[in-house]
Structure 1
Amino acid sequence: MSASDTALILGAGPRVGSSVAKKFASEGYAVVIASRSVQDGSTSPEGYLQVKVDLDQPRSVRHAFESVMEHFQAPPNVVVFNGAHRLLNPPDDPFSTSLESFHACSKVGFESQYVAAQEAVKGFKTLPESVPKTFIFTGNALNQVPIPQVFPFALSKRLSATVIEYGANAYGSKGYRFYYADERKPGDGRPAGEDIDGEAHAEMYWQLAQPGLQEPWLVTFGKGEGRVPYGGVGFDGVPYNAEWVDHQLCDACYNESFIREPYKIHVRRLLVRQDELGVYAHELTQTNFEHKLLDPAIPIGDEPLIVADVATGTGVWALEVAERFPNLTIEGLDINLNETPPKAWLPSNVTFREFNLLEDIPEELVERYDIVHVQFVMIFVLDSNVHAVIQRLLRMLKPGGYLQWTDSNSNRYSWHTATTGQEPTEVIKLYTMAQDIVGKRSQNLKWLNNFEDLFKRSGLKDVEYVAPESRPSTLQPVMMNWIWALEEGFGHLRMKVPERAQAIDEWMEQRKRALQEIEELKVGMNMRTQRCIGRKPVS
């Protein structure tokens, strides 16, 4: 071991990221976790340095390397890039993906990785020759097998594989090793999919970090097998032929592994983190509302206006509106600002401040805003407090200002299958069991059924109600992300409320049957997104 042995892990996922961190720490490494969900400069319970980095903003990656240098007076000699942005497209229409969504995949999966590779090489050049230097990218089979339904995600993986290949070719002889790690199912080399194993990654990454020469940059491995030279093998076990993709691979696109983490719909502030909810909710709203961040009913013009983004979450809506409308000043408001970017990275027309929608409005915010925006707050806005909430929002508006509120109607969730006439009974049973675990809340959310009337009875004028039909491309991702959100949320709830453990275990077993049904029937879920816009009277 060297005094310079430091591992920087960009993207701290619950399986790969945490397992790799634990392994390197156990071997004596100083470990640094870079994530947008941590407090910058804090120390984790395991003793890791935590650095706030948002992989959606590639330039922010440099902050992680600067923090390591400042804290340890040396750059990291092992860098693990574990970030990804998984996005679905219709399997028969890959070019239907919007440029904005395409860029979102590229920023996380490729651009941030490229910046990380740049910074890693800069640091490697300053380290003693005796210190092992390794850059590892967490990949999958998409650089070899073109799964039709994940075109933008697959392209980001292929671009990242190219970065690794170029790095290995250019710097391998200098002792800077670059590896693309791809776990497969033992024996046949099929993609690991949902069965990825954190400890298997940790063991492989530890082996790759040991001193030695650059080995082949593409590392395929299986749990309990170690490194095995698997090629392009689909979910059906058939080797990929570049001239023809078996149609069974299209069915395999529904395997959850390819659309997992950044699109989880997290139960906001109730069970799990809020960071990824903001990302997914923003993408869902963009798609279903034709990329109208502000409804055309709200006049913008060229005048400088002040906009409140209430329950801003990650700040993704505020940042995009600020970029699209530079004459607007956006103030993101939330009870917890841990998921927002650091002040140094913000454009000049965006600020964030702490704010609790369930408490009285501070005097300085009364009639401050020309536009108040809020979305996806139904998790904590109930029939018992909705009237108080909307009155608080109205107090924030200047006379003549506009309120825009977007939410999903959980009372009217529906399920759809691509198989005519077949009802997804296992999925519906899963939903019912989940309702029993968390408590049936529909009786407390009747206001969602009367959204337009709520605006009118609150005194708003020129009220417009928009409830677009959900795009087919959103149905299956919503279905999977709802399951993943509850899976993670129930995992936390099981530890905090042991008396619900049996019910949660039964739900987990039912989840397996539901996932099989989703794959067989191609089940999608409609969250019934809806939006209301209204103008505060002048007098």
Structure 2
Amino acid sequence: MEGDQNTMTVIQEDDYVLGRGISDSVRLDAQHLLWKMHNGYELHPRIPVTENLKIAEIGTGTAIWIFDLAKQLPPSVQLHGFDLSENQYPSPELWPENVSLALLDAFDEPPPSLVGQYDVVHLRMWASNFRRNQVPQLIQRVKAFLKPGGYIQWEDADLMHQNIKGSEAQAFEKRINAVFQRFDLDYRWVSALPDMLQKGGFSILESDTNRFEQNQAQLCTNTYLLALREILQGIKRQAPGDSLLSMTELEVDLAQLCLQNTKGIIYNWTPLSILARNCD
């Protein structure tokens, strides 16, 4: 993989609205636990495991999914994680022998050495990664990584269909949704993802939108509130000066909401889990 890394685009700055600090990484790892509790698996059980299986994760973040999965699969399986930034990667000396992590802009053409190489591509929590409707382009980029008949496993947060309880939480949701619209954070594409994948040349094997169970609702609330704090901070970094006051006011309201998050407040998004297969 060292040769591949040299061909990949390194982006020093990007408009990723979430954070990449230690607390942000801990939030990502906690979300991995949430998905694991909800789905009951890391790699979808309908994906056949063979000795020479090659798996890629696009937008790997802390690589927690890859690290967890590596313990469950034969050591001959290759797991490669890619992200726009390496700031959240564990130190290389901590990587399992069959794991490699590299830099990659998912919207660029993949290097020829990676085209058609993977049996499985995994994506998770891309909901806040789009300023515009770039999903069809991303789907085609991901498809290029896959072998004919390869699988895409995608888990994401449907923020348009939420489970929110508590008057303070409901009031905050209305205010922050107005901010999302103002700054072109459009989350409507998530619920349309199965149709987009079909149009992009995939057959949908499974699409699940069951809500989190009662024993998972608090973990979702905790991680979601932390993510909202990151999003507000990200908007402030990119927003014009006249927007800073309203962002700060929302941050204060969010801090108050965090103090009450164990007092009957539920602030959950709807999980969307998709397994699809490359029709080519």
Give the alignment's TM-score, normalised by structure 1.
0.45
Cα distance change on mapping 1:528 and 1:278 into 2, 3 Å: same
Q: Which residue of 1 aligns with 2:16?
A: 269
Q: Where do residues 92-131 of structure 1 align in structure 2 (5 Å cutoff)?
A: none
1:519–1:338 CA distance, 2 compared to 1 (3 A): closer
Q: Give the aligned partner of residue 58 of structure 2.
A: 310
For residue 377 of structure 1, give the secondary structure of its aligned residue in structure 2: coil
Match of 1:531 among 258, 261, 273: 273
Distance of aligned partners of 1:438 and 1:462 in 2 relative to their CA distance in 1, 3 Å threshold: closer
Q: Structure 1's 306 and 476: CA in aligned 2 closer, same or farther, altered over 3 A? A: same
Quote the residue 2:39 is aligned against. 289
| Residues 481-517 of structure 1: per-residue CA shift (max 9 Å, x gap) | 3333334554565576442232133324434664576
Alignment partners' CA distance in 1, 2:244 and 2:210: 38
The answer on whether the counterparts of 2:180 and 2:186 sit within 8 Å (CA) in structure 1 is no
Tell me if the contact between 2:27 and 2:223 (Cα under 8 Å) persists in the aligned partners: no
Q: Is the 8 A contact 1:411 1:442 kept in 2?
A: no
Amino acid at match of 1:334: D
Aligned length in residues? 261
Classify 1:475/1:440 alpha carbon distance in 2 versus 1 (closer, same or farther; 3 Å).
Answer: farther
> How many Å apart are 1:476 and its aligned residue?
2.2
Q: 1:275 corresponds to which letter in structure 2?
A: S
Q: Give yes or no for contact 1:287–1:471 (8 Å, CA) kept in 2.
A: no
Helix, strand or coil at the partner of 1:473: helix
Whose Rg is larger?
1
1:367–1:396: 8 Å Cα contact kept in structure 2?
yes
Query: Are residues 442 and 448 of structure 1, via their aligned partners in 2, closer, same or farther at CA, if it must alter by over 3 Å?
Result: farther
**In the alignment, structure 1 residue 414 sits paired with structure 2 residue 156:** no
Gap change, CA 1:427 and 1:349, over 3 Å in 2: same
Which consecutive residues of structure 1, in runs of 5 or more, have no partner in the other structure?
Answer: 1-267, 417-423
1:312 CA displacement: 0.7
CA-based RMSD of the aligned residues comes to 2.6
Q: Is the contact between residue 128 and residue 185 of structure 2 (CA under 8 Å) also seen in structure 1? A: no
Of structures 1 and 2, the one scoring higher in RCO (CA 8 A, sep 6+) is 2
1:43-80 deviations in Å (ceiling 9; x for gaps): xxxxxxxxxxxxxxxxxxxxxxxxxxxxxxxxxxxxxx
Residue among 70, 95, 98 paired with 1:346 = 95
What is the percentage of aligned positions where both structures have the same residue?
Answer: 21
Residues 19-58 of structure 1 aligned to structure 2 (within 5 Å): none
Which of 105, 109, 115 is the matching residue for 1:360?
A: 109
Which residue among 182, 192, 212 is the counterpart of 1:450? 192
Kept in 2, the 8 Å contact 1:281–1:376? The answer is: no
State the 1:363 CA deviation: 1.4
Q: Which runs of 5+ in 2 are unaligned?
A: 1-14
Residue pairs, 1:460-479, within 5 angstroms: 460-461=202-203, 463-479=205-221
The letter of the residue matching 1:467 is T
Could you give the per-residue CA deviations for residues 374-403 of structure 1, whole angstroms, max 9, x where no partner exists?
111121246621001001111110111111
Deviations 1:111-151 (A, max 9, x none): xxxxxxxxxxxxxxxxxxxxxxxxxxxxxxxxxxxxxxxxx
Aligned match for 1:428, one of 152, 170, 184:
170
SS of match in other structure, 2:192: helix
What is the alpha-carbon distance in structure 1 between the residues aligned to residue 104 and residue 237 of structure 2?
30
Distance in structure 2 (CA, Å) of the matches to 1:339 and 1:413:
28
* TM-fit CA distance, 1:449: 1.7
Q: Distance in 2 between matches of 1:438 and 1:462?
A: 30
Aligned CA distance change for structure 1 residues 379 and 324 (closer, same or farther; 3 Å): same
Does 2:118 align with 1:369?
Answer: yes
